[in-house]
Structure 1
Amino acid sequence: MNSELKKKASFRDFPPTYWVVIVFEFFERGAYYGVMSILSVYLTDMLGFSKTEVGTIKSTIQPLLYFLPILSGAIADRLGYRKTLMVAFSLLGIGYYLTAQVTDYLAVFVFLLIMAFGAGTFKPIISGTIAKVTDETNSGLGFGIFYWSINLGAFIFPLVVVPWLKSMDWSYVLVMAAIITSLMLIPTLFLYKEPEREKIDDSQNSIFAIFGDIGKKIGLVFMDWRFMLFIFIYSWFWILYFQMFDSVLWYVQQFVDASALNNFVHSVTGLDWKFDVEHVTVVNAFTIIALQLFVSSIVKNTKALPTLIVGISMGTIGMAILAFSNNIWIFLAGIILFSIGEMTAHPKYISYLGLIAPKDKKATYMGFGFLYGFFGSFVGGYLGAWLYVKLVDNPMIAFVRNSVPSATISDDIKIPDLIAIAEGAGITKEQVSTHAHTAELWLLFSGIGVFCIVGLLLYQKFIGARESSNF
């Protein structure tokens, strides 16, 4: 038995179903991050929504991705993984496709909600399948490939597919996501093998029994203030992370001059390549792909909470770097450092979570560990949009309004239209941009990171882990 457990895991150890779900994960995450890499800019610039309207959408759909797995995972255990996957891919395909066909705010909101329900339903099925088809000898490698496939999808799709589709029509990115997720129905039907599930009494299969059981678990975990407080404090860091899909994209489009990077890429490759908003996701994903194993090897034997704090500190500094210059190299340095901080912090978050969960209820508690994303995305979407409007858009609007009193300028004017009015009056885009308080924006978000660090230090000092030897 011991020799079997110690044998080195290899790719051949995994059954076909494992590789099927890895393909699912790669394409679903590629489609998702392909859309998210441009969605906020698409909604403001192509459809004409205000940034606060976009913030409302993002603060609704993204938290669903982190909360729905509580429900969908329990339902899948009763109804079967294949049936649940069919529902998930159907909702994803419908949601993406219909979003691409409409321009009305309410319709876009509703169809993105359908997409979010699909993504939230899909999320626990893949990890659940991997957990069931692996064992002690290969689960580490199995989940390592799983996480790698997520970042590979997030790297390739925004780098290769999104720019090509966007050059024809931005909505084609959503159509692409719809086609890819819909096609996943075919291997789900013919290649996915249902893993063995625990037999559950028929009386526990009703919808009332399912939700009753979930309600008991939610009540149990939410009443544990030590556990929930730690998740809440950590979620502040993820307010910064979710800016990568909102305020950072608006900032790149308006303020970052990428000509130096574009010229460098052209001189090396000969390609007429241009850095654009979707490449923010590419930089984050590539950094994790390139450095995750190296970073993991460095911190594998370090204590959880101090390493977590170091990672968040790196991410906070990365965000602060954006305040110093809109130079593309400075911007890239900030995003790369933030990504290194993210990959340093998050595995240790999971590790520390296991230390503060009661030993006899670990499985139940760990199922709620993703609530950091629920809190972080809920606050991050609203806050990012609100701060961006207050600190960046409004000062520019006020300047042009005062400089061109003859122009009728509404409070919700689109920035490209504002620039056009200014240039018509002989005011350059650069002159307008100097009135935006972008440095203050990034320093404020960095301040949230500092509060997270202070909160964790206080948590360590006054509360600590139940298994204190490792915190």
Structure 2
Amino acid sequence: MLQKFKGFTRAFWTANIVELLERAAYYGVFIVITLYLSRILGFSDMEAGLISGVFSGGLYLLPTFTGALADKIGFKYSLIIAFSLLTLGYFGLGVLPSILESMGLVDYSGDITFTGIVESAQRWAIVPIMLVLMIGGSFIKSVITGTVAKETSEANRAQGFSIFYMMVNIGAFSGKTIVKPLRDSMGDLGYVYINYFSAAMTLLGLIMIVAFYKSAKHTGEGKTFGEIWAGLIKVCTNGRLITLILIITGFWMVQHQLYATMPKYVLRMAGENASPSWYANVNPLTVVLTVAFITRMMASKTPLFSMTVGMFIMPLSAIAMASGNWFGHAEIDLGFISMHPIALMMIAGIVLQGLAESFISPRFLQFFSLQAPKGEEGMYLGFSHLHSFISSVLGFGLSGYLLSKYCPEPKLFETREAWEAASVNAHFIWYYFAAIALVSAISLIIYGKVIKKLDAKNA
């Protein structure tokens, strides 16, 4: 077993360990970011969705540009900038509530009481803090993967990226897991103190980068910002590629509800004892357990066929999430544990999401590269995650609207009965996402038939 891990440089191991720390920091905060924005800072569901969506979208759009800067100034300096910004950003998220409380806008002692924060412009100080996190995080995505590529050879590159993928998932799992104990011991203030955990993780990463990262500087490599911008315009004016991006956006709009809608939905519908951060861990667990098998099973099929199978699983996922509201409110005894039906069916839906991702994600980049002009595959793949930018903004924005319409914040109502009447159709939220997923799946079939005819005509 240990033999497999030999032959890698110190820079490789440092990059992978700090990736684990950064992923733990990110997912610990991001799984509850909409809850933090609403319960701690008093933002409405729609405002919280907009802020979270722009933040998430920026993390997918900016890496191509910050990656170009990293090639110019060197990976080590880029990582120092990244982890410094992340540490400042997470610390800022932790400190901001205390500053607002000192201004008399909110009282965090006992039950959280808003005493002016909802009407105050001061809470929008969250925006520059999120921008700092966005820029810092965008460096990570390009530099860590670039380090893995540069610090491995053809002989051990596959093993190197396998280690990287393992580190990402360990980090994601551990970050989400710590939220539940914090919330159990501190209530909603746990959403504040998780930021100090994340700041500590990224500070540790910064120290490791300064002390141990000795990779080559790589100064002056890569494309200019002008070349990257020209490439973005070229992709956006390529009808075949932009159509594919828009279709796959439907899949990711549903997938993003793991962070946009699910945490608030289960806490409001299944009760404060629900564990949305733990439910979210079911997704990476499912992917890790199934992706290798599904990829082998689909090896003889075209990428489009595998993607289409996954796309048709997504509506079933959303329907499963909606179905928890069909079974009443009595706990379901599973023998080893009792669960609220909302929570149980949410987990079932998340499992189906993970299966869909295993069919789609490994084959999307392969299929996307085949649609790019010959000789320009690398540049086009740099923008292959445009769908995640679009789906973050649209998915989180739609989530905020649907939550406020069908599953509003209980504290907005004078009585429990009034809230129950307002949220009786809360499960309708998932019907919207089921419809989006189904339209995307059908569109992918049509897309495949159209490009097949076009390719035959041009042959």
Shorter-chain TM band: 0.7 to 0.9
Q: Deviations over 1:427-446 (max 9, x none)?
A: 487x446x432232101101
Shift of 1:178: 1.0
Report if the CA contact (8 A) 2:267-2:274 is conserved.
no
Shift of 1:245: 0.6
Q: For 2:10 and 2:303, how far apart are their aligned partners in 1?
A: 35
Which of the numbers 192, 212, 220 marks the counterpart of 2:213? Answer: 192
Partner of residue 265, structure 1 = none
Shift of 1:379: 0.6
Q: Deviations over 1:86-126 (max 9, x none)?
A: 11111111111111111443111221121111101211000
Which of the numbers 17, 21, 45 marks the counterpart of 1:23? Answer: 17
Aligned length: 410
**Matched residues, percent identical?**
29
Q: For 2:135 and 2:81, how far apart are their aligned partners in 1?
A: 10
Partner of residue 324, structure 1 = 323
Q: For 1:244 and 1:352, how far apart are their aligned partners in 2?
A: 26
Shift of 1:417: 4.7
Partner of residue 359, structure 1 = 374
Q: For 2:453 and 2:253, how far apart are their aligned partners in 1?
A: 24
Report if the CA contact (8 A) 1:132-1:196 is conserved.
no
1:76 counterpart letter in structure 2 = A
Matched, 1:252 2:269: no
Q: Which moved more, 1:163-172 or 1:181-190?
A: 163-172
Which of the numbers 412, 416, 424 marks the counterpart of 2:411? Answer: 416
Which of the numbers 203, 207, 211 marks the counterpart of 1:182? Answer: 203
1:248 counterpart letter in structure 2 = M
Partner of residue 428, structure 2 = 440
Identify which of structures 1 and 2 has the higher relative contact order when contacts are C-alpha pairs closer than 8 Å and 6+ apart.
Answer: 2
Report if the CA contact (8 A) 1:355-1:465 is conserved.
no
Shift of 1:257: 5.9
Partner of residue 77, structure 1 = 71
1:12 counterpart letter in structure 2 = K
Shift of 1:238: 0.6
After the TM superposition, list the runs of 4 or more consecutive aligned residues in structure 1 that deviate by more than 4 angstroms. 464-468
2:405 counterpart letter in structure 1 = K
Q: Deviations over 1:363-414 (max 9, x none)?
A: 1111111111111101111111112212332xxxxxxxxxxxxxxxxxxxx4
Which of the numbers 356, 361, 371 marks the counterpart of 1:346? Answer: 361
Partner of residue 398, structure 1 = none
Shift of 1:465: 9.9
Query: Following superposition of structure 1 onto structure 2, how do residues 9-158 of structure 1 map, counting pairs within 5 Å?
Result: 10-103=4-97, 104-158=122-176
Q: For 2:182 and 2:455, how far apart are their aligned partners in 1?
A: 51
Report if the CA contact (8 A) 2:73-2:218 is conserved.
no
Partner of residue 454, structure 1 = 442
Matched, 1:228 2:245: no
Shift of 1:354: 1.6
Report if the CA contact (8 A) 2:249-2:387 is conserved.
yes
Q: What is the alpha-carbon root mean square deviation over aligned residues?
A: 2.2
Partner of residue 294, structure 1 = 293
- TM-score, scaled relative to structure 1: 0.82
Shift of 1:192: 0.9
Structure 1 SS opposite 2:322: coil
Q: For 1:28 and 1:301, how far apart are their aligned partners in 2?
A: 37
Q: For 1:467 and 1:33, how far apart are their aligned partners in 2?
A: 42
1:185 counterpart letter in structure 2 = L
Structure 2 SS opposite 1:102: helix
Q: For 1:101 and 1:184, how far apart are their aligned partners in 2?
A: 21
Structure 1 SS opposite 2:301: coil
Matched, 1:378 2:393: yes
Shift of 1:277: 2.1
Matched, 1:219 2:228: no
Shift of 1:300: 3.3
Query: Following superposition of structure 1 onto structure 2, how do residues 149-168 of structure 1 map, counting pairs within 5 Å?
Result: 149-159=167-177, 161-166=178-183, 167-168=185-186
Give the unaligned 5+ runs of structure 2. 98-121, 326-340
Q: For 1:114 and 1:49, how far apart are their aligned partners in 2?
A: 20
